[in-house]
Amino acid sequence: MSAVQVATTFETVRTPDPASRPVKIHAAKVKVTYGQKEALHGVSIDIPEKAVTAFIGPSGCGKSTFLRCINRMNDTIAGARVEGTIKLDERDIYDPDLDVVELRARVGMVFQKPNPFPKSIFDNVAYGPRIHGLARSKADLEEIVVTSLQKASLFNEVKDRLNEPGTGLSGGQQQRLCIARAIAVSPEVILMDEPCSALDPIATAKVEELIDELRANFTIVIVTHSMQQAARVSQRTAFFHLGHLIEEGPTDHLFTNPLEQRTQDYITGRFG
Amino acid sequence: MTEATSSLSASRIGGSETRSISKLDIGLKRRYAAERRFRTYGLVAVTIAICFLVALFGSIVAKGYTAFQQTRISMIVNFDANIIAPDGDRSPAAIMAGNAFRFDDLIAASLQSTLELDPNDEDALYDGLDLLSKGSAPMLRTMIAKDPSLIGTKRNVDFYATGDVDSFVKGSIRADIPESQRLVKDRHIAIIQKLEKEGALRLAFNTGLFTNGASTRPELAGVGVALVGSLYMMLVVLVLSLPLGVAGSIYLEEFAPKNRWTDLIEVNINNLAAVPSIVYGLLGLAVFINFAHLPRSASLVGGLVLTLTTLPTIIIATRAALKAVPPSIREAGLGVGASKMQTVFHHVLPLAMPGVLTGTIIGLAHALGETAPLLMIGMKAFIVEYPTTPFDPATALPTQIYMWATEPERAFTERTSAAIIVLLAFLLAMNSLAIILRRAFERRW
């Protein structure tokens, strides 16, 4: 079976949610090409609101590529081209009239490696609200910073050293600082690209706990290499393989009762 | 799969026991010898470099340090009103307007009294006057014009000795060579010794070296105009090349699409950095002077030409500094919804700043020592007056060194080395500034 046939005849296996949630992000036939190479061959998925959706799959399967389409981070890569439609609340995010800066304020992102700005902890969190003009006064800004740090369960650890550089924190604290920075601009969606892959198990547990808390207010999409993590934090899971979305469904269903042979093989560790 | 991996690694460990490292010749001796050899080469290279550096600086300082002192002859001058202002007009304009030679009479009178000469012995008087710089009479005139209250008083005045007398006092013209080949004759030496014994002739710090402009007389020549000219040029270069270079690099590195055209531009910028500077001088001559009709020999034109030579250096350094900023910082900025411009100016540029500053100062230091393009645009002119604006004619330190190096007098030889010392001090000061600025802008990660 050649790659072209796969691309044209492919059908994703879907299992609907038992408790149906409203759709936040709707993607249809999303293809991404880097130069001549097609990295994503038409992915369609509905991502529910105020829930954690995990993307799993082996390296190079296109899960990060798809994640970066949702806030148009692929725009920054020379030669990347995106086809198909992605809608956020019924609005096409690749519409030329849509402002990409506004989109990124609505769709925050946390990266694989903690990347705080080389500034103070306070300024790290305050940067987003400042450039978007979200705070009317200094007290307002302080309140945003404090609540964001609290929501990221970091406040108690750093409340005495808000003016110290964010780069001086430990890896796990830095990642939670990045999450605080993302939620300070009150986004609707938070994209997380393997947020725990550079962290130790204890820091990972803290971040996972935090993700679980954040789901009450935000729609979260998380890319992860760890199937255990996907099982722990997500409500829905999507399995990517070689640029295709193979199967998606409620997390417990996908891990206990996968419908596709390849999903079964991956979660049982037969390839990876 | 995990089982398979562990059994594989177990068999590897088992295998290594049978061919243990200690029993095999893995060339450890050879490897250490290679490392020792390499270290020795490095040490030898550094030692040679230090020797050359010491020799270079040593010879420059040895030749030049004497120029920081100068022979002065101090005499009591009677500011005779009848000679200075015979018509009674004591205004500075009237003093400056008259014939400067009348002030020679003042000098002659004080020389006669200092040396206790017979008033009728004209030869002895002229021998004495030979020792004094020919600039002495104009110096007196300027002094009186500045302060007319001197008229009618008696004051001690420090006169400059001529360059040859200066060289003799410092020992660079030796007394043991035959008189016919010597620039300072026996009769002059007698007067010098007499003045020395009286304490009238002595060595003093040569402030004129830093304040005077060009002169054909070495004792009156200084790098003042060249210093000001070089300073103006550095300002022009800094003001033009820093913003242009940094903005250009930011555009090319962060905003411009990566295609064949930008590749071509990049290659050309790298090539421009290697273009001989005299070619920039020709370009400056054609564009700034012949076409734009900017004043010849002005520090503005020099600065413009040096900007052209400096821009590629700054652009290359800035682009390298921007490239070194990790992409995760750009992603972080864009991720919270900063625009591209905000990301670059709030996060990327501050992190690149130490590199940008280092590149700029290296570029400026390079421009400071640049000579060839300045010769092309006429900055080797004979400028006595200080330039007040960058539009006025000026010289630069390196061209001043070049001009003095071609003069035959002993006194100019030592001044050439002294000017090199001044130039090197200027460079050292700039490099220290670069280090301080880099420290100040450096941020910890």
| Per-residue pLDDT reduced to its tens digit, B101-138 | 778 888 888 888 888 888 788 888 888 888 888 888 88
Of the residues B1, B255, B261, B336, the best mutation for testing chain A's interface (the one with the most A CB atoms within 10 Å of its CB) is B336
User: At B319, is the pLDDT very low, low, confident or very high (cuts 50, 70, 90)?
Assistant: very high
Of the residues A107, A115, A125, the best mutation for testing chain B's interface (the one with the most B CB atoms within 10 Å of its CB) is A115
Contacts of B258 in chain A (CB under 8 A): 78
Could you state, in order of their start, the residue ranges of all structural domains in chain A? 24-267
| Per-residue pLDDT reduced to its tens digit, B210-261 | 888 888 888 888 899 999 999 999 999 999 999 999 999 999 999 988 889 9
Which one of 3.30.365.10, 3.40.50.300, 3.90.1510.10, 3.30.70.1230 gives the CATH number of domain A24-267? 3.40.50.300
Task: Give the pLDDT of residue A4.
Answer: 45
C-beta separation of B151 from B87 below 8 A: no
Number of CB atoms found within 10 A of residue B247's CB: 12
Mean pLDDT of A124-146: 91
Q: Which of A78, A270, A272 sits opposite B258 (nearest CB)?
A: A78
Across the interface, whether the CB atoms of A165 and B444 are under 8 A apart is answered yes
Residue of chain B whose Cα is closest to the Cα of A102: B337
Residues of chain A contacting B, Cβ within 8 Å = 71, 73, 76, 78, 101-102, 104-105, 108-111, 113, 115-118, 127-128, 131-132, 165, 167-168, 178, 181-182, 184-185, 269-270, 272
How far are the Cα atoms of B242, B264, B266, B313, B322 from residue B269, in angstroms, in the given order?
A: 16, 9, 5, 9, 16
DSSP run (H or E) holding B249: helix B224-250
Edge-to-edge strands of the sheet including A189-193? A13-14, A244-250, A236-241, A52-56, A219-223, A189-193, A107-110
Residue of chain A whose Cα is closest to the Cα of B328: A115
Contacts of B329 in chain A (CB under 8 A): 115, 117-118
C-beta separation of B192 from B200 below 8 A: no
User: At A5, is the pLDDT very low, low, confident or very high (cuts 50, 70, 90)?
Assistant: very low
Contacts of A116 in chain B (CB under 8 A): 332
C-beta separation of B132 from B73 below 8 A: yes
Q: Which of A115, A184, A185 sits opposite B331 (nearest CB)?
A: A115
C-beta separation of B104 from B66 below 8 A: no
Tokens of B158: 């420090």
Closest Cα to residue B299, out of B240, B255, B359? B240
End-to-end Cα, chain A, rounded Å: 21
Mean pLDDT of A244-272: 86
Across the interface, whether the CB atoms of B1 and A269 are under 8 A apart is answered yes
**In whole numbers, what is the pLDDT of chain B averaged over residues?**
86
Single-letter amino acid code for the residue at A106: R
Contacts of A101 in chain B (CB under 8 A): 337-339
pLDDT at A103 over 70: yes
User: At A7, is the pLDDT very low, low, confident or very high (cuts 50, 70, 90)?
Assistant: very low
C-beta separation of B168 from B184 below 8 A: yes
User: At A1, is the pLDDT very low, low, confident or very high (cuts 50, 70, 90)?
Assistant: very low
Across the interface, whether the CB atoms of A131 and B342 are under 8 A apart is answered yes
Residue of chain A whose Cα is closest to the Cα of B350: A118
Contacts of A270 in chain B (CB under 8 A): 1
Q: Mind telling me how many Å the CA of A5 is from chain B's nearest CA?
A: 31
Residue of chain B whose Cα is closest to the Cα of A103: B337
Residue of chain A whose Cα is closest to the Cα of B2: A269
How far are the Cα atoms of A31, A85, A97, A99 from residue A93, in angstroms, in the given order?
A: 15, 8, 9, 9
| Per-residue pLDDT reduced to its tens digit, B364-384 | 998 998 999 999 888 888 888
- SS3 state at A257: coil
DSSP A79-105: TEEEEEEEEETTEETT-TTS-HHHHHH
How far are the Cα atoms of A101, B84, B96, B122, B387 from residue B143, in angstroms, in the given order?
A: 70, 12, 10, 27, 21
Task: Give the pLDDT of residue B235.
Answer: 92
Of the residues A72, A76, A169, the best mutation for testing chain B's interface (the one with the most B CB atoms within 10 Å of its CB) is A76
Rg (CA), chain A: 19
| Per-residue pLDDT reduced to its tens digit, B198-215 | 888 888 898 888 888 888
Tokens of B185: 């004759």
Contacts of A111 in chain B (CB under 8 A): 328, 331-332, 335
pLDDT at B287 over 90: yes
Contacts of A127 in chain B (CB under 8 A): 336, 338, 346
Name, in order, each residue with C-beta under 8 angstroms of B433's C-beta and a sequence gap of 6 or more. B361
Mean pLDDT of A27-51: 89
pLDDT at B435 over 50: yes
| Whole-number Å distance between alpha carbons of B390 and B351 | 34
Contacts of B346 in chain A (CB under 8 A): 127, 131
pLDDT at B13 over 80: no
Assessment of whether the complete model's pTM goes beyond 0.90: no
| Per-residue pLDDT reduced to its tens digit, A156-182 | 889 899 999 888 898 889 999 999 999
pLDDT at A79 over 90: no
| Whole-number Å distance between alpha carbons of B386 and A25 | 72
Q: Mind telling me how many Å the CA of B391 is from chain A's nearest CA?
A: 44
Across the interface, whether the CB atoms of A127 and B338 are under 8 A apart is answered yes
| Per-residue pLDDT reduced to its tens digit, B33-77 | 999 999 999 999 999 999 999 999 999 999 888 889 889 888 888
Task: Give the pLDDT of residue A52.
Answer: 93
Q: Which of A104, A178, A269 sits opposite B334 (nearest CB)?
A: A104
Residue of chain A whose Cα is closest to the Cα of B327: A115
Task: Give the pLDDT of residue B86.
Answer: 75
Single-letter amino acid code for the residue at B327: P
Interface predicted TM-score of the whole assembly (ipTM), two decimals: 0.86
B224-441: CATH topology: MetI-like fold (1.10.3720)
Across the interface, whether the CB atoms of B332 and A185 are under 8 A apart is answered no
Segments of B214-360 assigned E as strands: none
Task: Give the pLDDT of residue B384.
Answer: 85
